[in-house]
Structure 1
Amino acid sequence: MSVTPPFRILTVCTGNICRSPMVERLLQQGLDLITPGAYIVESAGTGALLGSAMEPHIEGFVRVLGASAEGFAARQLTPEILDTQDLVLALTRKHRSRIVELRPALLRKTFTLRELARILPQVPTPRGAVVAHRWSTAIPLALRARSLQGHNPEDDDVVDPYRRSDDVYEQMRQQITPAVQVLLDWERQNTQALRPRQHNASGTGHH
């Protein structure tokens, strides 16, 4: 029996020590609780501080929010990393542009985090379908919705807090955590259709 490979998500910011690792760890932790083993979430930076651990504020946020900060090391975004991804989440529109410069074909798989969180709840998807099928349906619809919606483009960016005040770190947190939660809620809602049938089937087997 063939095993479905995990759906791969990459998060991208500049130094890969603040915004993108926070999204990486929160998203991975949340998805693992909902659909264990179905996703691999990683991150990279367009100007990475190579090998660095998470910035201390970020490490604190990650731990307080219930995820792990262990074993993290910043890495540089490369075309080779992009080649293996099913979905890319940029932290700003500028990062999104850089991703598409490196791999133009990824235009159809790349959103900013807040952009996708804004659009995804409005996208009809087949509930209960396998992860890859759901996303292959949702992504083209999200791209179409992106071109139709009027909004302030700045609302799609997450502020860069690096070497700035605690207030800016808090602003960043308030931009990231609701957006991540939207993606997790979408995953949870779209997997719930499978669970009652699985439960009933296993229950029937005991009688």
Structure 2
Amino acid sequence: MTTRVLVVCTGNVCRSPAAELLLRDRLGAADVDVASAGVHALAGQPVDPPVAELLAERGVSPEGFRARQLDPAEAGAADVVLTMTREHRAAVVRARPGAVRRTLLLPEAAEAAAAIAREGWPADLPDVAARLAALPRLATRHRGAATAAAAAEVPDPHRQSAAVHRSTVDLLAGAVDTLVTALGTGARPIG
């Protein structure tokens, strides 16, 4: 069964599409469907040009991407919802209260996955898709141990300097790399 991941930010033109596209690239052939949306989406817009350039530097194409508004039904159907800020997490939960236990900040999810991987994934989770689907349930016991950096929010680079864009995409790439490596895909690190 396919594991569904929804990544959420504000406008769905910078952070969430970058995380979506980086996750798709790193997960490769894993049975995971990754999508993204915004709580105040700039619906129909492509990835913001500075972010698109930074993704292209990493070999990830933003071609064809279009921003979408958060759909409560999609949030409800997702196995994992990854947000950029606590405000985004609250917006997802307001839109779909049942998603509360499946909604994590991306850095928090990455740190929890790394902690679980250090302990060893349960034997009944033999592949990446199963581990990712179980992450919200397993992350509960690791939330208190999360470092300040892992619990940090991902800053919005929209209409900010090139340095802020690079810093944000680097943070996203690092979180995605940590998450996917912990899931055990053996994929290459992000450029």
Partner of 2:126, secondary structure, is coil
Partner of 2:40, secondary structure, is coil
Quote how far apart the aligned CAs of 1:118 are. Answer: 1.6
Q: For residue 198 of structure 1, what is the aligned residue in structure 2?
A: none
Task: Note the 1:37-186 alignment, pairs <5 A.
Answer: 37-123=30-116, 124-126=120-122, 129-146=126-143, 148-149=144-145, 151-152=147-148, 155-186=151-182
1:150–1:176: structure 2 CA closer, same or farther, 3 Å change rule? Answer: closer
What runs of 5+ residues in structure 2 fail to find an aligned partner?
Answer: none
Q: Deviations over 1:2-55 (max 9, x none)?
A: xx3x211111000000000000001001101xxx15111110000000100010
CA distance, structure 1, for counterparts of residue 48 and residue 150 of structure 2: 24
1:154–1:115: structure 2 CA closer, same or farther, 3 Å change rule? Answer: closer
Quote how far apart the aligned CAs of 1:117 are. Answer: 1.1
Quote how far apart the aligned CAs of 1:145 are. Answer: 1.6
Segments of 4+ in structure 1 off by > 2 A? 130-139, 148-156, 187-191
1:185–1:132: structure 2 CA closer, same or farther, 3 Å change rule? Answer: closer
TM-score, normalised relative to structure 1: 0.81
Q: For residue 15 of structure 1, what is the aligned residue in structure 2?
A: 11
CA distance, structure 2, for counterparts of residue 102 and residue 122 of structure 1: 30
Aligned residues: 183
1:114–1:45: structure 2 CA closer, same or farther, 3 Å change rule? Answer: same
State the AA in 2 paired with 1:70: E
Q: For residue 194 of structure 1, what is the aligned residue in structure 2?
A: none
What runs of 5+ residues in structure 1 fail to find an aligned partner?
Answer: 192-207
Greater relative contact order structure (CA < 8 Å, 6+ sep)? 2
TM-score, normalised relative to structure 2: 0.87
